């Protein structure tokens, strides 16, 4: 009983059902169900967000200058990006212009997040889908050293270094307490790396774990802490004082040197460890070309990293903006977040209620009333899900659509749009990567393409950190030390009833916040986040979402150990707390949800 979806997939849910819940090495709570046919190929995929927090309900009636702190707590992994999106939305609504230094420091914060998030994702959330830790025990340390030295000049590469690491690992395994590595799919046939590559990758897993904490110190300098640094409507909270009394309590030359040192170290680590590892690992998995999903047809990016302050037009954004539909790379469409016909959210398969569930709502008109109704073919009880009914409602995530299309967002979407827009700094590294691996362009549209784009973007972001650091120094040298505009800080100066929108490119993709401010308080607040785009369920028309599409037609070697599912889902870097937190303008209704 195959069903043809409007977005080009043939679904068949008659074969064996495989459930992965919890999906781990992600942020938040996600469940995946698939059906495989008699050849073990995935013929139906169901993505379910299994948490809801109601954050925007909580924002209603609050001071819009506080909204960044609340929305930042949407996610502690992509920490900062929601806060930045929020202050932009509020500034857009209130007509606030920020100083040049504030724009630069915000860009440094956002790029720091990109570098950190991508690095941690690759090593700590994704690598174990490709790297067999147990196999590393049988590696020859000398051969590992030769391998490492052949691909990078990174100094920690001696035979002794790898021998010590292997000894430690052996001791760890022999202790019988495998901790984090317990019950992994070790020895699975889908692992293809030689033992030496596995040992090298495990060494870098640990090095990256120790190094990542350094990167985020940039947030700590400008924002006082990480996770969850501090932000400010109208600029940034940290003043600059490089010469006068009291400079020790501000951004001064010692702080700037610390930031520079971290930026340089980060760039080195990305170029000498992350990228060579990515290439080495990818070269063993070139034949595993599954997981493309929507990436070859429909991708979306809002753009980000304004080169100069207060200009959010596409031409001033260093990360590209645009939409590609139906696989036509020759046409990059402009995207307007204010147009009520472009971005809309649907709930026909989500655990929410609309008056008319055939239509979608623009975020400024968004409604969210929870309606946990798992449908008639659902298997289980009210508090035990055995198997979901994807013909009914099946997720706490809504289905956002751009002009009716299901879209993929994220680093791969950005690189495809940058490539299609002929922007050299996206096109050239992409072509080089493909040439080095001996792959055609359409190899990009895959799980590995997603993983590779993230690595390229990490290197791009590290380079841009150096660029903005130099810009900051230039500005200070020229005598500009302003970091905040307080002309409209006091609510008495605000218009009575205004709407605003803010956007960023979060590590995981396009992120938008829509705010309505009335009588100096938040009247309505809505966020549509990357994982909503990617992990969302089917819509009223039956179009499947990006996760679901990416899982389709992938062979699963062992139904008991569905490593391939993890690989493809992890390649999106899921962030579920982000995706499931919507509100209604009548948010107070939610207070009445019955306590059972």
Subset of 27-56 contacting another protein (CB under 8 A):
27-29, 31, 50-55
Task: Give the contact letters, 199-218, x = binds to another protein (CB under 8 A), - = no.
Answer: -------x--xx-xx--xx-
Q: How far is the CB of 402 from another protein (least distance, A)?
A: 26
Query: Of 478-517, which residues contact another protein (CB under 8 A)?
Result: 481-484, 486, 489
Task: Give the contact letters, 300-319, x = binds to another protein (CB under 8 A), - = no.
Answer: --------------------
Query: Of 148-187, which residues contact another protein (CB under 8 A)?
Result: 168, 171-172, 174-185
Query: Of 256-275, which residues contact another protein (CB under 8 A)?
Result: 258
Per CB under 8 A, 325 contacts another protein: no
User: Can you tell me which of 159, 237, 542, 585 binds another protein, judged by CB under 8 A?
Assistant: 237
506: closest CA among 524, 531, 526? 531
Query: Of 232 and 417, which CB lies nearer to another protein in the complex structure?
Result: 232
**Rounded-to-integer distance, Cα 271 and Cα 266, Å:** 9
Query: Of 81 and 301, which CB lies nearer to another protein in the complex structure?
Result: 81
Query: How far does CA 309 lie from the centroid of its chain?
Result: 24
**Rounded-to-integer distance, Cα 517 and Cα 524, Å:** 7
Q: How far is the CB of 502 from another protein (least distance, A)?
A: 19
Q: How many CB atoms lie within 10 A of CB 303?
A: 24
Query: How far does CA 221 lie from the centroid of its chain?
Result: 24
Query: Of 414 and 570, which CB lies nearer to another protein in the complex structure?
Result: 570
Query: Of 425 and 589, which CB lies nearer to another protein in the complex structure?
Result: 589
Q: How far is the CB of 534 from another protein (least distance, A)?
A: 17
Quick one: angle between helices 253-269 and 100-120, nearest 10? 40
Query: Of 143 and 590, which CB lies nearer to another protein in the complex structure?
Result: 590
- 75 contacts: CB under 8 Å, gap ≥ 6: 27, 81, 82, 575, 577, 578
- Rg (the chain; Cα; Å): 24
The DSSP bridge pattern shows strands 317-319 and 521-528 to be unpaired
Determine which helix (DSSP H) or strand (DSSP E) holds 488, and give its type and residue range. none
User: Can you tell me which of 8, 12, 41, 58 binds another protein, judged by CB under 8 A?
Assistant: 58
Interface with another protein by CB under 8 A: which range of 59-67, 140-148, 263-271, 528-536? 59-67
Would you call 396 exposed, middle or buried from its count of C-beta atoms within 10 A (0-12, 13-18, 19+)? buried
Query: Of 68-127, which residues contact another protein (CB under 8 A)?
Result: 69-70, 73-77, 79, 120, 124-125
Interface with another protein by CB under 8 A: which range of 141-149, 228-236, 405-413, 542-550? 228-236
Per CB under 8 A, 20 contacts another protein: yes
**Rounded-to-integer distance, Cα 156 and Cα 153, Å:** 9
Q: Where are the alpha helices (DSSP H) in 121-194?
A: 141-151, 159-174
Per CB under 8 A, 594 contacts another protein: yes
Task: Give the contact letters, 513-552, x = binds to another protein (CB under 8 A), - = no.
Answer: ----------------------------------------
Beta bridge partner(s), residue 343: 402
Q: How far is the CB of 70 from another protein (least distance, A)?
A: 6
CA-CA distances (angstroms) from residue 405 to 271, 331, 436? 36, 16, 34
Q: How far is the CB of 439 from another protein (least distance, A)?
A: 28
Per CB under 8 A, 235 contacts another protein: yes
Answer whether 502's CB lies under 8 Å from 91's CB. yes
């Amino acid at each position: 009983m195959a069903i043809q979806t409007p977005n080009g997939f043939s679904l068949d849910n008659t074969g064996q059902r495989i459930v992965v819940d919890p999906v781990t090495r992600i942020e938040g709570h996600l469940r995946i169900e698939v059906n495989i046919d008699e050849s073990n190929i995935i013929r139906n995929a169901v993505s379910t967000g299994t948490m809801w927090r109601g954050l925007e309900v909580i924002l209603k009636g609050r001071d819009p200058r506080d909204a960044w702190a609340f929305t930042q707590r949407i996610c502690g992994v992509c920490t900062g990006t929601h806060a930045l999106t929020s202050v932009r939305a509020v500034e857009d609504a209130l007509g606030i212009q920020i100083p040049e230094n504030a724009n630069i420091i915000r860009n440094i914060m956002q790029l720091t997040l990109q570098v950190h998030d991508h690095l941690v994702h690759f090593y700590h959330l994704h690598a174990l889908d490709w790297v067999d830790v147990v196999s590393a025990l049988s590696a020859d340390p000398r051969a590992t050293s030769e391998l490492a030295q052949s691909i990078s000049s990174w100094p920690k590469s001696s035979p002794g270094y790898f021998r010590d690491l292997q000894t430690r690992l052996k001791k760890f395994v022999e202790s019988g307490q495998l901790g984090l590595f317990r019950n992994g799919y070790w020895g699975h046939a889908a692992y293809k790396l030689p033992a030496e590559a596995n040992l090298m990758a495990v060494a870098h897993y640990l090095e990256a774990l120790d190094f990542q904490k350094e990167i985020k110190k940039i947030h700590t300098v400008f924002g006082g802490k990480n996770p969850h640094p501090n932000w400010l409507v109208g600029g940034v909270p940290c003043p600059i004082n490089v010469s006068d009394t009291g400079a020790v309590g501000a951004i001064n030359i010692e702080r700037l040197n610390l930031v520079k040192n971290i930026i340089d170290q980060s760039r080195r680590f990305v170029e000498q460890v992350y990228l060579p590892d990515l290439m080495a690992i990818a070269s063993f998995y070139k034949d595993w070309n599954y997981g493309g999903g929507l990436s070859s047809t429909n991708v979306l990016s809002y753009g980000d990293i304004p080169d100069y302050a207060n200009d959010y037009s596409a031409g001033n954004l260093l990360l590209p903006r645009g939409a590609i539909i139906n696989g036509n790379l020759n046409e990059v469409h402009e995207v307007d977040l204010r147009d009520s016909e472009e971005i809309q959210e649907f709930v026909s398969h989500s655990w929410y209620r609309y008056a008319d569930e055939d239509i979608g709502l623009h975020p400024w008109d968004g409604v969210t009333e929870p309606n946990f109704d798992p449908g008639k073919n659902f298997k289980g009880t009210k508090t035990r899900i055995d198997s979901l009914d994807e013909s009914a409602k099946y997720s706490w995530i809504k289905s956002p659509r751009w002009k009716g299309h299901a879209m993929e967002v994220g680093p791969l979407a950005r690189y495809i749009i940058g490539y299609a827009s002929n922007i050299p700094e996206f096109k050239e590294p992409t072509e080089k990567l493909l040439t080095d691996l001996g792959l055609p362009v359409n190899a990009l549209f895959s799980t590995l393409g997603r993983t590779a784009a993230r690595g390229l973007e990490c290197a791009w972001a590290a380079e841009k950190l150096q660029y903005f650091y130099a810009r900051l120094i230039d500005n200070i040298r020229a005598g500009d030390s302003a970091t905040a505009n307080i002309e409209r800080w006091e609510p008495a100066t605000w218009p009575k009833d205004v709407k605003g929108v803010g956007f960023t490119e979060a590590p995981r993709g396009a992120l938008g916040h829509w705010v309505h401010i009335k009588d100096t308080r938040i009247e309505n607040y809505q966020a549509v986040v990357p994982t909503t785009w990617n992990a969302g369920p089917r819509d009223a028309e039956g179009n499947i979402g990006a996760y679901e599409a990416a899982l389709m037609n992938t062979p699963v070697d062992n139904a008991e150990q569905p490593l391939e599912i993890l690989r493809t889902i992890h390649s999106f870097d899921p962030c579920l707390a982000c995706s499931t937190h919507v509100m209604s303008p009548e948010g107070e209704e939610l207070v009445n949800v019955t306590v059972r």
